[in-house]
């Protein structure tokens, strides 16, 4: 926990750029929060952070003095270790290869490369210019680009849905689903992120927090992103992990009365 707090203090102290309200647009409709991150400056304010012990999204939000905080990668609640790669400041801070439960599970081990190569949201540093990208973890970056920040989740939604390729479902020879993970085929809350490419190389990042008031299966989540004309999109951990803190808005997806939200491993924060 001390290491996590020191990381957050370092993040807060670094730089002197501040996000304006106009850099973040929000709309709410029928149980779905939709955020649009505009402009180039906000890319410098986005960080992906992880905690050694599990904490709530609200704790990460206030500890990091964040303007906007959402949940990101998958994790194992039993040993509190990651199932998703997280990169902060060009360094891997969470590596699923160090999760012994992942390594020793016979089913997951047989499909390990699919799990390790799941989709991630990246902020690339391309010779000083920052760029959003959604790609599989093992995908190479363009020449002169390096991954500055990233959080893995999955599956990729757009341009193609990658359920089997990322080991979220398994089908038999007749095409019947015989294994499902992360409630992909069920209506649950969802945390989604996507990219819209604009003229002259500009980009928007779009975040959707699909709440308990309008739960979706993964096909409906894909169609939601497609309806906004996104060029690429992916899911982060969903279900009871779906979380949001922004201004006076706090979204938790657990159902117990008085619950403060599920304890989580990793987060996307936007510095004030």
Percent residues over pLDDT 90 in the chain: 89
Q: What is the pLDDT of residues 66-87, one digit of tens each?
A: 999 999 999 999 999 999 999 9
Q: What is the pLDDT of residues 83-118, one digit of tens each?
A: 999 999 999 999 999 999 999 999 999 999 999 999
Show me where the domains of the chain are located.
2-15+22-271
| Higher pLDDT pick, 255 / 137 | 137
Looking at residue 257, what is its pLDDT?
64
Q: What is the pLDDT of residues 3-52, one digit of tens each?
A: 454 444 344 343 344 455 579 999 999 999 999 999 999 999 999 999 99
Q: In the block, which residue shows the tokens 């960080």?
A: 47
Mean pLDDT of 46-60: 97
Q: What is the pTM of this model?
A: 0.91
Distance separating alpha carbons of residues 236 and 38, to the nearest angstrom = 21
pLDDT band at 268 (very low <50, low <70, confident <90, very high): very high
């Amino acid at each position: 926990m001390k290491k996590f707090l020191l990381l957050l203090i370092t993040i807060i102290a670094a730089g002197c750029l501040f996000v304006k309200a106009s850099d973040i647009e929000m709309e709410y409709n029928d149980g779905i929060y939709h955020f649009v991150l505009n402009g180039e400056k906000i890319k410098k304010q986005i960080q992906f952070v992880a905690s050694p012990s599990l904490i709530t999204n609200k704790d990460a939000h206030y500890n990091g003095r964040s303007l906007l905080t959402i949940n990101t990668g998958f994790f194992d609640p039993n040993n509190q270790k990651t199932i998703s790669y997280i990169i902060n400041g060009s360094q891997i801070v969470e590596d699923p290869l160090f999760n012994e439960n992942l390594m020793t599970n016979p089913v997951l081990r047989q499909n390990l490369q699919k799990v390790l190569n799941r989709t991630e949201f990246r902020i690339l540093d391309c010779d000083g210019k920052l760029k959003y990208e959604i790609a599989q973890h093992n995908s190479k970056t363009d020449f002169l680009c390096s991954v500055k920040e990233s959080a893995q989740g999955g599956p990729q939604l757009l341009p193609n849905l990658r359920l089997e390729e990322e080991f979220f479902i398994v089908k038999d020879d007749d095409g019947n689903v015989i294994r499902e993970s992360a409630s992909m085929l069920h209506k649950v809350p969802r945390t989604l992120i996507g990219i819209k490419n604009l003229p002259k190389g500009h980009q928007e990042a779009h975040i959707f927090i699909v709440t308990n008031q309008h739960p979706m299966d993964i096909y409906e989540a894909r169609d939601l992103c497609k309806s906004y004309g996104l060029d690429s999109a992916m899911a982060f951990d969903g279900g009871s992990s779906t979380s949001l803190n922004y201004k006076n808005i706090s979204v938790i997806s657990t159902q117990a009365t008085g619950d403060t939200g599920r304890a989580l491993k990793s987060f996307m924060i936007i510095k004030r």
